[in-house]
Amino acid sequence: MTLSRRSILGRTLAGLAVFGLASPTHAKMAGKSVAVIGAGMAGLAAAGALARAGADVTIYEARTRIGGRVLTSTLWPDLPCDLGASWIHGPIGNPIKKLAKAAGAATVRTRYESSAAFAGGKTVYNEIDPWEWTEVARVAAMRAPADMSLKDALIAQRVMKVKTATDIEVLAANVHLAIEHEYGGDWGSLSARYFDMGEEFAGEDVLFPEGYGALATYAAKGLTIKTGAEVTRLTPLDKGVKIEFEGGQSIRADAAIVTLPLGVLQSGRVAFDQPLARKRQAAIDTLGMGLLNKVFLRFDKELDLPAVDWFEKLDAPRKLFPEWVNLAHVLGAPALLGFNAAASADDLERASDNETASAATDALRAMFGSRFPAPIASQITRWRADPLALGSYSFHAVGAAKSARDDLAGGDWDGRVVFAGEACSADHPSTVHGAWMSGLEAAREV
């Protein structure tokens, strides 16, 4: 997720340990075999907690690396680039902050207030803040007989007094920048009732100058992890569960923790040999898998830019690279990080690397003038095309029940499979800490 300018509720989870089960019973877990599917933050949290409680745990990961949607590129050795998650959103009371501390990972603060908006090559003040209207839209949707999309609710409520197609375009562009960039879903798909359900930890966001991946590496220490092991099928047995892999091999375990991304669950790439509980299947079918992509641009010299953390581009095309992190200011690096989200990010994934880097450069020139230098290198993500993610993170889509994330989380097949992962976190969806806490919760359930 990129940003959250909403008021911060801040809530600590009393009694939720960073690493372990709240009250592990070694005797109960000893000898119990647990297969954890996926070595992202949910899988690592679950496996760590169970291993410490005495279970015989193995993580099976399809990729040749761990971390999942936490991925630090070392292509530029002097500038590690986080291609997946960047920030701890709200470090106060956040278990990921504690993990970072334990791992000895340095952090750098970024502030949303430290931002500048540009139009026509000049700094401007963007007085439109769609967050002001989302509550109006939510109340209207709650009163309606059925949920509706955020788009329909905002237009029906005539926020900004929209009348013409141009008014709607301006509204759409502002919703895109403020809301679609955070949730990854199109405003025509986000649920007006529930799209921003959840809690937030307090404190200013921090990122990792040396890369988020260090936390996954730290969390994986001492765990048994089999990489290159793509699960294709799960079958319930009289006792336990059978897990089959690409290539035909299989294993048995007393229980499996499934941390597959929502996109993978929706795709049917992994077969469940017995139907899942109806509410769980409904949650899989109705929650949305959103998209946020990043483009890192590197320059051959220092950049002469305003000393702020964030840039917003209000020039047309408004939905192409509207938001940037000024890495020159944040990290002192000759680099910038641009974002695309939701439907426009899906469109851009189809462009070549050259076309994407050139669109990003055009966006910078719209903000800073035609003489802004061309980058010497770029790194571009395409999370939708990644078959082991099929998107960036989940969002609450119109049509998904209020309880969809709780419906998805937890045990099925009489506890032989337990679901975890960011999409299972009702309080902190779409985040690293949500994934981590859901992994701990699944371990507790096993």
Ligand X SMILES: Cc1cc2nc3c(=O)[nH]c(=O)nc-3n(C[C@H](O)[C@H](O)[C@H](O)COP(=O)(O)OP(=O)(O)OC[C@H]3O[C@@H](n4cnc5c(N)ncnc54)[C@H](O)[C@@H]3O)c2cc1C
Inter-residue contact 409 to 443 (CB < 8 Å): no
Considering only 422, 427, 442, 446, the residue that binds ligand X (CB under 6 A) is: 422
- Return the range that interacts with ligand X (CB under 6 A); candidates 20-28, 310-318, 368-376, 380-388: 380-388
In the complex with ligand X, the residue whose CB is nearer, 130 or 421, is: 421
The yes or no reply on residue 312 touching ligand X (CB under 6 A) is no
Q: Which is nearer to ligand X, 20 or 43 (CB)?
A: 43
Q: Counting contacts by CB under 6 A, is residue 215 touching ligand X?
A: no
The interface mask with ligand X, positions 106-145, x = CB under 6 A, is ----------------------------------------
Contact code string over 283-302 relative to ligand X, x by CB under 6 A: ---------x-x--------
In terms of phi and psi (left: phi > 0; alpha: psi -120 to 50; beta: otherwise), the region of 242 is beta
Sign (positive/negative) of CA torsion 390, 392, 393, 395? negative
Tell whether residue 63 is a contact of ligand X (CB under 6 A): yes
446 lies in the site for ligand X, by CB under 6 A? no
Long-range contacts of 232-235 (CB under 8 A, 24+ apart): 232/269, 232/270, 232/271, 233/270, 233/271, 233/272, 233/273, 234/258, 234/270, 234/271, 234/272, 234/273, 234/417, 235/273, 235/274
Cis previous bond, 317, omega within 30: yes
Does 435 engage in binding with ligand X (CB under 6 A)? yes
43 contacts ligand X (rule: CB under 6 A): yes
- Residue bearing tokens 């799209």: 195
CB of 445 to ligand X, least distance (A): 16
**Interface segment toward ligand X; rule CB under 6 A; list 55-63, 108-116, 135-143, 168-176:** 55-63
Out of 41, 100, 150, 243, the residue judged to bind ligand X by CB under 6 A:
41
Instruction: Please tell me whether residue 334 binds ligand X under the rule CB under 6 A.
Output: no
Kindly tell me which residue out of 393, 395, 413, 419 binds ligand X, with binding defined by CB under 6 A: 393
Q: Establish if 230 lies at the interface with ligand X (CB under 6 A).
A: yes
CB 49 within 8 A of CB 26: no
- Residues at the interface with ligand X (CB under 6 A): 1, 37-43, 60-63, 68-70, 84-87, 89, 230-231, 259-261, 264, 269-270, 292, 294, 381, 383, 388-389, 392-393, 421-422, 430-433, 435
